[in-house]
Each structure stands twice: as C-alpha cells, then as structure tokens.
Amino acid sequence: MNKIYKRIFILLVSFSLAGCTQSIHQQLQDNQWNITSTSGSSYTADFSETTITFEQGVFQTGMIYTIEGDKLIMTNPSNNKEIIYEIEKVENEIHLIPADENYGTLILVETK
C-alpha cells in the first residue's frame, strides 16, 4: 500500500513540475527575438500564434508556422514550401536546427 502512495506522489509532483515550465510556443510568442543564422544572416523575429514576422533593416517578411513536438515547421505562404527545424533549448537561447542542409541553424536570443 505504501508503494502505491509513493508512486501517486511521484506522479503528481512530475505533473506539477511539468505544468510550471513555459511551453516553447508560449515563450516564442511572449518575446521578440534576435536571430543569427550560421549561414551568415541576422535579423529580428516576432512570433504570433500562427505567423512569424522577420525584419532585417527596412525589409519585412512573414511565414506561417506550427510546432509539432520538438519540430518547428515554417511554411512560405507564397509557394507553400515547408522548412522543418528541430527545436533545441541551450541555456537562454533557442536553437532551430534545419532538417535540410541547405538552411543554416538559427540561434534565437531574446531582445532586451
């Protein structure tokens, strides 16, 4: 009987701790981001619930995105081409690692 109580307690604590962590989706929406790409570009990004707005100087563009598990899927609305990134948290940064080698890794850091 004592083992059952321990397992229930561990299960409840695990769910409580999981509920305290902010989801990546919410974290992306709550902040504006400086992005540096390993392909040599840098720009800012702002995430809404379903779109990303990229800004580099006076140029601005947007993409539709979804998050499925540990994947961020960006879709270009003009041609419906998908770009898939694996999401990896590294300390206070978010790294987006591309599935396609033609794209660079994106390193996101919150703007101050």
Residue 31 has pLDDT above 70, yes or no: yes
Whether 112 shows a pLDDT value over 80: the answer reads no
- Tell me: pLDDT of 16 over 50: no
pTM for the predicted model, two decimal places = 0.76
What's the rounded Cα separation, in Å, for the pair 42 and 71?
A: 21
How far is Cα 36 from Cα 44, in angstroms, rounded to an integer?
9
Rounded to whole angstroms, how far apart are CA atoms 55 and 94?
A: 18
Q: Average pLDDT in the 28-36 region? A: 94
The Cα 5–Cα 58 span in angstroms is 60
Query: Per-residue pLDDT averaged across 14-34, rounded?
Result: 72
Q: Which CATH architecture has domain 23-110?
A: Beta Barrel (2.40)
CB 84 within 8 A of CB 96: no
Task: Report whether pLDDT(7) > 80.
Answer: no
- As a whole number, the mean pLDDT across the chain is 84
Strands 82-90 and 51-56: unpaired
